[in-house]
Amino acid sequence: MREAIYVTGAGIVSALGTNTRETLAALRSRRSGIGAIRYPDTVHTRFPVGEVKMSNAEMMQCLNIPEEEATTRTSLMGMFAAGEAIAQACLHEEDDLRIALVSGTTVGGMDKSEQYYIDFLTNDTRNAYIATHDCGACTEMIADRFGFFSMVDTVSTACSSAANAVMLGDMLIREGRADIVVAGGSECLTKFHLNGFNTLMILDEAPCRPFDATRAGLNLGEGAAYLVLESEHTLRRRNVAPLCSLAGYANTCDAYHQTATSPEGEGACLAMTKALESARLNPEDIDYLNAHGTGTQNNDLTEGIAIQRVFGDAIPPVSSTKAFTGHATSAAGGIEAVISILALQHDFIPVNLHFAVPMEELRFTPATDEKPRGALRHVMSNSFGFGGNDTTLVFSKI
């Protein structure tokens, strides 16, 4: 029998707020966090984004970090989100428990590297930030904030990074390499990544419209989210209540294209199918599907085709929450995992904002009513990365 792995804590920072309470309130009131860009110093101000509504200085002040300390936006958001998850799980240093941190990011400390690059070349006043550039450095800064992690690891698989971090966390517990894992991801918005997506010509100058026939691209976002994962053994030993179980997962790679997914949605189809097998569930058991749903022509069509292949006539309510948060790239899988768990806990469907015109290629439309068909028991969350690195997570009520 497959041992259950439980979620005992969840933390989130995004354009919707700096904790789960604010996030839930925004979702229930259908209040998007997407707006005009504020923090990166960019000429591309025509693109709306989902920014965390705090400056680096404000976050450092809240976290009591000295203003002269070299840190990055990615690590600061990660500290906030991981801190909430750790507090909810009543987690603290215990001598005989091995606690690991697995964090996903791809941009890492690029926000400071692009800000101080010329300075690095011309003088030595900002050299401390060179060491903060690496993706792993951001994870180390988050870990140092808490001081009790016996293992630290960084996952970088583009937009599936945080979901893969959760998957890896589960594996570490099952393989006896860790007793408890804090897993998720953090990613800040930068000029580097705004320019990159603009070069791909997949940014929308209006609020994004996932699964809508008029969709014209995505809105970038930022944020962080983490889950505390543990086995029944440590859960009972620590006498903590689980939020839900991580029932199953899968990662696949169709390797079809550097950025696009295959026309048949092969990788997405395999990820969902194998995640269901891992959870020992049938397609009709899924009560809500949080889709990757970026709002691009390619993703929404191919993911929609994959959903139809997997679920047939039993397609559950489907929505993308990226119209709320923007696409937080490497952090998206963590953010949407927490949103999926909030939906599971509170028995509601996060609606698909801005949907108006059905896609003629699909036989389903995304959810615009938050009332589920019944109590939610099992929810699925999709996170698909560049290169066809596709990951699906399944969470279940206890």
Question: What's the CA gap between 206 and 210, in Å, rounded?
Answer: 12
292 counts as catalytic:
yes
Contact status, residue 282 vs residue 288, Cβ threshold 8 Å: no
Laid out side by side, the sheet with 378-385 consists of 151-155, 99-104, 180-187, 223-231, 5-13, 244-253, 389-396, 378-385, 288-290, 318-319
Q: Of 135, 138, 159, 244, which one is the catalytic site residue?
A: 159
Question: What's the CA gap between 260 and 384, in Å, rounded?
Answer: 10
Question: What's the CA gap between 318 and 148, in Å, rounded?
Answer: 39
Total Cβ atoms within 10 A of residue 24: 21
Contact status, residue 40 vs residue 111, Cβ threshold 8 Å: yes
Alpha carbon 135 to its chain centroid, in Å, reads 16
Strand partners, 218: 203
Q: Of 138, 208, 269, 292, which one is the catalytic site residue?
A: 292
Contact status, residue 275 vs residue 392, Cβ threshold 8 Å: yes
Q: Of 135, 193, 269, 327, which one is the catalytic site residue?
A: 327
Question: What's the CA gap between 86 and 97, in Å, rounded?
Answer: 14
90 counts as catalytic:
no
92 counts as catalytic:
no
Contact status, residue 322 vs residue 208, Cβ threshold 8 Å: yes
Residues with catalytic function: 159, 292, 327
